[in-house]
Amino acid sequence: MQVGIIGLPFSGKTTIFSTLLKHKVSNAYKSRKKTEKGVVKVPDERLDKLSELYQPGKKTNATVEYIKVPGFDQKDEKPKALPGEFISNLKTVDTILMVVRAFENELAPHPMQRINPQADIEFMNSEMLLSDLTIIEKRMERIEKELRINKDEKKKLEMEVLEKCYDFLIQEKPLREMQIATHEEKILRNFQFLTLKPILYVINIDEAEITRSNAIIAEFEDYQTDSTAVTALCAEIEKEISDLDNDDQNLFIDELGIEEPALHNLIRNSYELLGLISYFTVGEDECRAWTIRNGSTAKQAGGAIHSDIERGFIRAKVTAYHDLLSQGGLRKCKERGLLRQESKEYSVQDGDVMEFQFNV
């Protein structure tokens, strides 16, 4: 599961990407024309507390892969078609992380000579919408020619779905807001439309605005839906925090008047928009967060560990994270009836602590 990072020049996308990966900005920026990738741990206080309880030999967080996708190199106010390489790279990601500038810097002027986050969001969204429209138009033209020769029912159905998408996009609405039936989803899957992808809007603010980050996020309420989210951070400060050791980090965070690095919230938001949740396995050897899709069954969750568990699934022992922590271990949970036996159809909840019984 991948998150693609995009943004206009000087928006801070390279700083955020390099901070996520703990790379130096200068090294990352040398390859600005190429797609760069990196895997990042998902911060999880629950896993930290479980590890404090069990003192395992190893702690393993869930992870998210980030990709920095160059392409929005707009240097004037005249819209240009998005390059094919950009579209191709962005098509493969599961969620888009759009970095939006909300700070002044005379040394790095905004490419459109403005500081207007909403206008930047609308510009980038409109470019992705235009890309989807162009793809649909070309495909509809081709299907129309094919239907003149052969009245294929599958092609007719595809044409109907594409016409529905075209009518929606022409109203300047992204496809993620359109009601899509199951059979329509199957048809659209191969196109990988950009406006179908969930988006996390990251408002890159000035250092002086850090304590107002929640208020700033509230200003972007219109951009928060089931498939979109908004967070705010100061990329330069996040970079400074990541360069410090743990003790100095805590002191700096206290001085800033915040509870944790804003980058942690960004990563968690990315994880949630990907439609993912975590369940835990615990023990003296390892405490681990396992990544599964929201709505996965216990049998499918077992498959995240090994295919043999899914194939030979018998049952799962399940307790809630907060119950395990409050009771101080699985034995106490069992004594107090908080350790349940669940079948293969059990819908795993975020934060479940699980142990699987299987036979291959």
Asked whether residue 263 is assigned to any structural domain, the reply reads: yes
Asked whether residue 229 is assigned to any structural domain, the reply reads: yes
Same domain, 165 and 307: no
Indicate the residue among 195, 229, 245 that finishes a domain: 195
Question: What pairing do the DSSP bridges indicate for beta strands 228-233 and 95-102?
Answer: unpaired
Same domain, 178 and 225: no
Mean pLDDT, each 10-residue run in order, the chain (360 residues): 92 92 50 73 95 96 91 55 74 94 91 92 93 94 90 90 96 95 91 95 94 93 93 94 87 86 92 95 96 97 97 97 94 94 97 95
Same domain, 191 and 321: no
Same domain, 34 and 159: no
Same domain, 96 and 217: yes
Going 47 to 201 to 124 to 32, the CA torsion angle's sign is negative
Length of the chain: 360
Burial label, 331 (beta-carbon count in 10 A; 0-12, 13-18, 19+) = exposed
Same domain, 75 and 25: yes
CATH number at residue 304: 3.10.20.30
User: How does DSSP assign 21-41, residue by residue?
Assistant: HT--HHHHHTTTTS-EEEEEE
pLDDT of residue 178: 95
Sheet containing 276-281, strands listed edge to edge, beginning at the edge strand earlier in sequence: 58-60, 286-293, 276-281, 352-358, 313-320, 340-342
Cβ-contact 267, 289 below 8 angstroms: no
Going 250 to 232 to 225 to 190, the CA torsion angle's sign is negative
Same domain, 235 and 304: no
Same domain, 134 and 268: no
Asked whether residue 287 is assigned to any structural domain, the reply reads: no
Same domain, 212 and 264: yes
For residue 284, give the DSSP letter: S
Q: Residue 207: count other Cβ atoms within 10 Å of its Cβ.
A: 11
Give residue 282's region: left, alpha or beta (phi > 0; psi -120 to 50).
beta
Question: What pairing do the DSSP bridges indicate for beta strands 313-320 and 276-281?
Answer: unpaired
The C-alpha atoms of residue 127 and residue 6 are separated, in whole angstroms, by 12
Residue written as token pair 């390859």: 31
pLDDT of residue 245: 86
Asked whether residue 350 is assigned to any structural domain, the reply reads: yes
Tokens of 94: 């599961």
Asked whether residue 279 is assigned to any structural domain, the reply reads: no
Residue written as token pair 């159905």: 157
Residue written as token pair 């043999």: 308
**112: three-class secondary structure by DSSP:** coil
CATH number at residue 153: 1.10.150.300
The C-alpha atoms of residue 279 and residue 113 are separated, in whole angstroms, by 47
Q: Residue 56: count other Cβ atoms within 10 Å of its Cβ.
A: 17
Same domain, 151 and 258: no
Asked whether residue 251 is assigned to any structural domain, the reply reads: yes
Domain count, the chain: 3
Asked whether residue 120 is assigned to any structural domain, the reply reads: no
pLDDT of residue 80: 55
CATH number at residue 78: 3.40.50.300
Burial label, 162 (beta-carbon count in 10 A; 0-12, 13-18, 19+) = buried
Indicate the residue among 145, 165, 195 that finishes a domain: 195
What's the domain range around 89? Answer: 2-44+61-114+198-273
**SS3 sequence, 148-215?**
HHCCCHHHHHHHHHHHHHHHHHCCCCCHHHCCCCHHHHHHHHCCCCHHHCCEEEEEEECHHHHHHHHH
Same domain, 178 and 318: no
pLDDT of residue 23: 42
Same domain, 76 and 217: yes
pLDDT of residue 247: 84
